[in-house]
Amino acid sequence: MPELPEVETMRRGIEHLVGCSITAVDMPRGRHKSIAIVPEPSRFRRGVLGKRLEGTERRGKRVVIRLDDQQRIVFEPRMTGLVLVADPPNKEHLRMQIQLDGQQSLWYWDRRGLGIVTLYDAQAYEQDLGPERLGPDALQVTPELLAERLAERKREIKVALMDQHLVAGIGNLYASEILHVAGIHPATRCDHLSGRQWRVLAEAVVEVLQEAIFYEGSTLSDGTYRNTLNKSGGYQNHHRVYDRKDQWCSKCAGHRVERMVQAQRSTFFCPGCQRK
DNA sequence: CATATGTCCTGAGAGC
DNA sequence: TGCTCTCAGGACATAT
C-alpha cells in the first residue's frame, strides 16, 4: 500500500546512508516465490558492488538511490514492500540485504512479493521513469497543472487521481482522503469539475500528502507498513474517511462515511460534504 | 489515442 | 478445530 507519504518516509529514513559504499549484496531465497530483481541477481550484484551512494530521490511511489557511477537502484514496494535500516519484521520475507561499509545494512522486505528492485543506468531510468512515462510529482501540483492534465478527461476524478501517468504518487487511500478534504464526490467526471474545484483539489492534494508525511504514513490494521526503523506510521489516526465506513463524518457530523467500489478498489466518502 | 478489466502475490478473517 | 473462500490494491498487460 505504500503511496507517496510512505515512500517519502522511506527515502528520508535512508538519507543518512549517502556516502557509504556497498560491500555486499545478499538475496535470500525463502519458501516463497522470489520477487523480481532486474537485472537478474548476479548481474545486479556485480553492478552495484563497490559503488558509493551518492544521493536519494523519490519518483512517485518509488525509492531511488543514485550511485556514484550514475546508475540508480529503484525500490518499487507496490503493496507490501518495505525499505528498512533496522531488522525487518521477520526473516521470512526478506528479499534483499545491501551491506554498507561492512557494518550498516539496507534491507528490502516484501510480504506479498509483488514489489520489484531494479538497477538502472541513466538512459534506461529516463526511459522507464521519466516524464514521458510518469506524471509530475503529486507534491508539486498546482491548480493549473492539475487541470491541464485532467480536466478534459471523462474518467471519474478518483480513478484519474490514481493514474500514475497523469500525476505520480497518489494511491487508493490518499485519493479518498484528498477528495474528502476537497469536498468533491469521487465519482464526479473530470470534465464536470469547475475551475474553483481544481483549485481546491490541488490544495487538498498537497495538504493531505504533507500532513501524512509529517505522521510518517499510514499503518493499516494489517500492520504491514513500517517506517525504516520498523515502527508504525501515525497517519491512520488522522484518516477522515478511509476504512471508516459507517462512522460519523468528522467534518459535517451529520452523515456517516460510505464505501463504494471504483475500478475494483474501495472508495470512502461522506455523502454530506461530497455531493455530485 | 483513452479507458476498462484481468492478473500477480500472501495472509487475515469470514463462514461453515 | 480446520477447511475453503474472499479480499486487500500497487503497476502493468491486454482488450475494447
Give the model confidence (pLDDT) of A176-187 as tens digits.
Answer: 999 999 999 999
User: What per-residue confidence (pLDDT) applies to A273?
Assistant: 93
User: In sequence order, what are the residues at sequence separation of 6 or more whose Cβ sits closer than 8 angstroms to the Cβ of residue A222?
Assistant: none
| Cα angle A194-A131-A117, degrees, rounded to a multiple of 5 | 120
Give bridge partners of residue A118 from the DSSP assignment: A38, A74
Nucleotides in chain C near protein beta carbons (<7 Å): 8-12
Is nucleic acid strand C under 7 Å from A6's C-beta? no
Is nucleic acid strand C under 7 Å from A155's C-beta? no
Query: Taking a C-beta distance cutoff of 8 angstroms, is the pair A256, A248 a contact?
Result: yes
Give the distance, in angstroms, between residue A111 CA and nucleotide C10 C1'. 13
Nucleotides in chain B near protein beta carbons (<7 Å): 2-13
Q: Which residue is nearest to nucleotide B13 (CA to C1')?
A: A222
CB neighbours (10 Å) of residue A3?
24
Residues 58-87 of A with CB under 7 A from strand B: 79
Instruction: Please state whether beta strands A116-120 and A36-38 pair in parallel, antiparallel, or not at all (unpaired).
Output: parallel
> Which has more pLDDT, A224 or A256?
A256
Instruction: Please state whether beta strands A94-100 and A104-110 pair in parallel, antiparallel, or not at all (unpaired).
Output: antiparallel
Give the distance, in angstroms, between residue A101 CA and nucleotide C9 C1'. 37
- What band does A164 get if pLDDT is binned at 50, 70 and 90? very high
- What band does A124 get if pLDDT is binned at 50, 70 and 90? very high
- Say how far apart CA A77 and CA A80 lie, in whole Å: 6
| pLDDT, tens digit (0-9, with 9 covering 90-100), for A186-240 | 999 999 999 999 999 999 999 999 999 999 999 988 888 998 999 889 999 999 9
C-alpha cell at A251: 467534518
Tell me the catalytic residues of A.
Answer: 2-3, 61, 265
pTM: 0.95
Nucleotide nearest A243 (Cα, C1'): C8
Is nucleic acid strand C under 7 Å from A199's C-beta? no
Question: Could you tell me what percent of chain A has a pLDDT over 70?
Answer: 100
Give the distance, in angstroms, between residue A14 CA and nucleotide B6 C1'. 36
Residue type, A171: G
How big is chain A by its Cα radius of gyration, in Å?
20
pLDDT > 80? residue A159 = yes
| Cα angle A257-A259-A261, degrees, rounded to a multiple of 5 | 155
